[in-house]
Amino acid sequence: MIDIRDLSVVFGSGNLRVEAVKGLSLQVAEGESFGLVGESGSGKSTVLRAICGLAPVSGGTIAIGEKPVSVPRKRDFFATVQMVFQDPYGSLHPRQTVDQILSEPLAIHRMDNRDKRIVRTLTDVGLGPTFRFRFPHQLSGGQRQRVAIARALILDPSVILLDEPTSALDASVQAEILNLLELLRKEHNLTYILVSHDLAVVAHLCDRMLVMRNGTMVEETDTEHLRAGEAKTAYTRALMKATEGFTRAEPATRTELQ
């Protein structure tokens, strides 16, 4: 479904030249959920932005469904590939109601049955029609992210790019959103690329994953290897250790401190 070969993304030129992604290749099958993991600044979000045309592609090829993507992207590309952003507080227009936010893609793509589609999509993401005419400031973070997911879903895409969809939410809401994403993937036969710095989130949602560091591929692995604690590179092991969280060392005794 998604075939990226030797992708590189370069921002700026001269002294300000930054190679955000260097020679990255990945293949994702239809209906698969693929994870991109790495620390901040490893270029994982840039890969997503390059796929959908928000970041410049300086080398390599991107193909969606066997067809190489056009530059600039055409309208049918956006009907196939949609994205959910990290921060639900910044990704919804502050002066538009949920209804306006969801109507806009339908108007751009000249779809019919708009009322029905909006109500159905809202129900799909677990919000229901009572939320339809609210403004974003009347919604909680989790509800906002559901609206953002509904906006990505309303065009019936086959690929959804998820850019840290849960990192701005608190833990209990994170699980809800992850379960919703998993459910939607099964119902709509979606293909996901999930970007996260949290191995636990990726392991929850994805079968295969790619570990990135400084814009390069470190290791491709899958959930089973991860669960078994088998990682080929030291960096992945460090990342796994970081995900386990902060474990308290044995408290120092008073005598030791003295």
Q: What does the binding site for other proteins look like in residue numbers (CB under 8 A)?
A: 52, 54, 73-75, 77-79, 82-83, 85-87, 90-95, 97, 99, 104-105, 108-109, 130-131, 133-135, 138, 148, 151, 155
Question: Considering beta carbons, is residue 109 or 225 the nearer one to other proteins?
Answer: 109
Instruction: Name the helix (H) or strand (E) containing 217.
Output: strand 216-222
Alpha-carbon distance 100 to 239, whole Å?
41
* 18-28 and 2-11 beta bridge pairing: antiparallel
In angstroms, rounded to a whole number, what is the distance separating the alpha carbons of residues 19 and 58?
10
Q: Within a 13 Å sphere around the CA of 176, how many CA atoms are in the beta-carbon half?
A: 15
To which H or E segment does residue 189 belong? Answer: none
Question: Cα-atom radius of gyration of the chain, to the nearest Å?
Answer: 20
**155 vs 203, beta carbon nearer other proteins:** 155
CB of 94 to other proteins, least distance (A): 7
Q: How far is the CB of 138 from other proteins (least distance, A)?
A: 6
192 residue type, one letter: Y
The least distance separating other proteins from the CB of residue 95, rounded to whole angstroms, comes to 6
Residue with smaller CB distance to other proteins, 131 or 192:
131
Closest approach of other proteins to the CB of residue 13, in Å: 15
Residue that the structure tokens 């701005």 belong to: 168
Q: How near is the Cβ of 96 to other proteins at its closest, in Å? A: 8
- Judged by CB, which is closer to other proteins: 14, or 245? 14
Q: Considering beta carbons, is residue 151 or 213 the nearer one to other proteins? A: 151
Cα–Cα distance, 131 to 119 (Å, whole number): 10
